Amino acid sequence: MVRHNNRLPSNLPQLQNLVKRDPQSYKDEFVQQHRHFQSTLEVFRLKPDQYNKNLDDLVMFLAQVSHCYPVLLESYPQQLMDILQSHHTVLDSNMRMSFCRALILLRNKGLLTPTSLLSLFFSLLRCQDKGLRRFLKNHIVSDIFNTNVKHKDARLNAALQNFMFGMLKDSNAKAAKMSVDIMIELYKKNTWNDAKSVNVIATALFSKVTKVMVAALKFFVGTDPTEKNSDESDSDDEEVSAREIIKSNKVNKKSRKRGKQLKKAKQVLGSKKKKNAAPSFNFSALHLIHDPQGIAEKLFQRLEKTNERFEVKLMTLDVISRLIGLHQLFLFNYYPYIQRFMQPHQREVTRILQFAAQSAHELVPPDIIEPVLKTLVNNFVTERNSSDVIAVGLNAMREICIRCPLSMPAYLLQDLVLYRNYRERSVAMAARSLISLFRVANPDLLKKRDRGRPTEASLELKVKQYGEVDAKDYIPGAEVLLKEEGEGKEGDEGDGSDDSEWEDVTHSSDGEEEVEGSDEEEEAGSEEKEEGSSEEEGGEEGDSEVEESEGEDENGEDNGGCAEVEVGEGGYEGRTEVVVKKSGKKKGKASTKEDVDEQKDKVVEASAISVSRILSDADFKRIEVARLKKEMTVARKGKKRSRTSVEMEDAKTLQKNRAELVSLGDIENIFKKKRHDKEARLETVRKGQEDRVKFGFQDRRQNPFSSKTNQEKRKNKNFMMVKHKVFKKQKRSFRDKQAALRNHLLKQCRMK
């Protein structure tokens, strides 16, 4: 049967639709188009740099219906790949894009293996076509991600990673940069997040191409926070609009359109809940590097010889400092190098101080870090600098000492402690944070008056020497569980609320203690009167006073916990002054031996309870409560620790839970209250307005009962009553002036 008016050979979209519906009935038409494709392709090979519209349509048609005739099109994918491999540099951009789209369709239909196609696309990244490179990058990332969604294809990943490793060393800078971006994108999608991928990216740190090196540096430094914040703001806006739609749907009339909007809003809220779920933990890329010492040394050698921009040098310093801090490396030349940039006028100086703090750790010899601290003191903590510069320097020293407390010499710390009474609040708070740190880290470096009242936890504190490791084979504090078991349920109920042992020394009315007449107290009293620090110093000086009552006196005597107390009004601003009189009880060797024996008994009990049973979450909670109570309780039984214990607790928590990386906010954290803030300015403005006459119209008539002018009356009238007079004030045009003059002259003539 002959078909009349058959337009299928020229109407490929219609033929494509019919072939997909019934492949067998339209097989002849397909074969005809396939032959036409072969002949057109041979012609195209003669001039591959020219665009062929007919070939473009045939390529997409065959790719769309390839799954209907897999046997006939068995060689079709290879033909397209051969053209791209041989002529990809001279092909027309539109034809090259069409061939790539056709191959992606064949890959999605399962007619191509991922290895052959992706290796071809990696080689096409050398083309001077930005749109094609972006298109290929998106496909490569999505294809590898979809292949590894259900289970990791180890063989495919190994082959592609090896090919990618060769691409990083490619002479074409754009291809190397694109390959790095692809690997970074796959790492962020948790597809290639293994150690091999990270170490392949680490090789890009030593690339001769600056863009490739910067991409690798940004990967190890972290993601861009601005992009993250923008995404979060957009999602928050979507969440707000979705909640508004759901709320309005309860009231508004139901319709099909609103129903679709409600469904979409619920999907948005559902996705928001999934995003807020706890993320799965992945090791940081810096933890997966095989040779961190070698990479840090090579980066530092390159940094000393490079002539790159200052921003690139900063990123290199950041990566080196993170490697040193995380892996506890030894790179002693790094510290003298970074000292050169520690100047207040240096650009991005706070980041440089952050890198110095990140590179400090316990295994660095104190002699190496000490020059860094002295540089900070000489350049930042001096009277010739502003208060903000001094505070930043003290904060940087605190962050360094958190990680390497042995690097601080005693004479330098005692000089820095004097800044606790500085006239600017920011400097005083930074110095007090340094004091709080060393009360826990190494109290022997502080003077007796700066150590605060000793607690039970501070007596058990052991300062580690350089290189010393304090590895315990038991759970510290577990002996509390034995006492609770002996006391029974009543003891369990009274753990958190035992107020019988908690008494406030500074606020009780009788039976309490204070020290009187010491030179250190007089010095403390004079320092308390300094401006802007009365509140904080009150707690510190009170602690030092009571601490003296607890410690040994000049003759080696101690009150042993017994004292007489006198409470009276004194000091300044009506503050209650508590005076403690020392008793003559001596503390000898016997009491010291008892303390040692008691400590040994606690260790034995803790070891026994750690070995004999498996501790539950409730047990660990009881141990933590007992530890906090020990830190809040003074060395003598039954006395509550007021304020300094809270500082010591904060310092101990800071030392235990310190992050692996230093936050820039910890160094830039400045407690500052300006002298002329908004409230002070408003107060001065109000004082200046007290005797001033009220602003407005002043009626200066000698006779208050005289009549007002028309202008004054007009101010109280309705606008509609006077708008015709307002419009008269507008500037008239030349035509209006002519008409007014004519009317005036005519009126004058009539009057004559």
Cβ pair 496, 627 in contact under 8 A: no
In 3D space, the residue among 423, 361, 435 whose CA is nearest the CA of residue 390 turns out to be: 423
Alpha helices for 204-329 (secondary structure H): 210-221, 225-249, 256-276, 292-305, 310-327
- Coil, helix or strand at residue 478: coil
Low-confidence ranges of the chain (pLDDT < 50): 1-2, 4, 224-233, 276-282, 489-591, 637-657
Determine the Cα–Cα distance for residues 484 and 492; give it in Å rounded to an integer: 6
Determine the Cα–Cα distance for residues 302 and 297; give it in Å rounded to an integer: 9
For residue 561, the model assigns a pLDDT of 38
Give phi and psi for 485, each to the nearest 5.
-65, -35
Place of tokens 């602690």: 543
CA 600 vs. chain centroid, Å, equals 44
Torsion of CA 37, 42, 43, 45, to 10 degrees: 120
CA 663 vs. chain centroid, Å, equals 8
Cβ pair 605, 478 in contact under 8 A: yes
For residue 564, the model assigns a pLDDT of 36
Q: Which amino acid is at 141?
A: V
Structure tokens at 554: 């000049």
Output the DSSP codes for 562-599: -EEEEEEE-SSTT-EEEEEEEP-----HHHHHHHHHHH
Determine the Cα–Cα distance for residues 264 and 249; give it in Å rounded to an integer: 13
Element containing residue 387 per DSSP (H, E): helix 387-403
The pLDDT tens digits for 594-615 are 666 667 777 787 777 777 778 7
Give phi and psi for 405, each to the nearest 5.
-70, -25
- Contacts by residues 447-452 (CB-CB < 8 Å, ≥ 24 positions apart): 447/414, 447/417, 448/520, 448/544, 448/547, 448/548, 448/551, 449/520, 449/524, 449/544, 449/547, 449/548, 450/417, 450/540, 450/544, 451/547, 452/540, 452/543, 452/544, 452/547, 452/644, 452/645, 452/647, 452/648
Determine the Cα–Cα distance for residues 544 and 514; give it in Å rounded to an integer: 10
Determine the Cα–Cα distance for residues 302 and 216; give it in Å rounded to an integer: 15
- Coil, helix or strand at residue 453: coil
Q: Is 28 exposed, middle or buried (0-12, 13-18, 19+ CB in 10 A)?
A: exposed
CATH code reported for the domain at 291-446: 1.25.10.10
Q: Does CATH number 1.25.10 belong to domain 12-224?
A: yes
Structure tokens at 195: 């150690």
Q: Which amino acid is at 295?
A: I
In 3D space, the residue among 298, 375, 282, 390 whose CA is nearest the CA of residue 335 turns out to be: 375
Q: For residue 589, give Cα distances in angstroms to 563, 594, 637.
A: 21, 9, 20
Structure tokens at 299: 């980066």
For residue 337, the model assigns a pLDDT of 94
Determine the Cα–Cα distance for residues 400 and 372; give it in Å rounded to an integer: 9
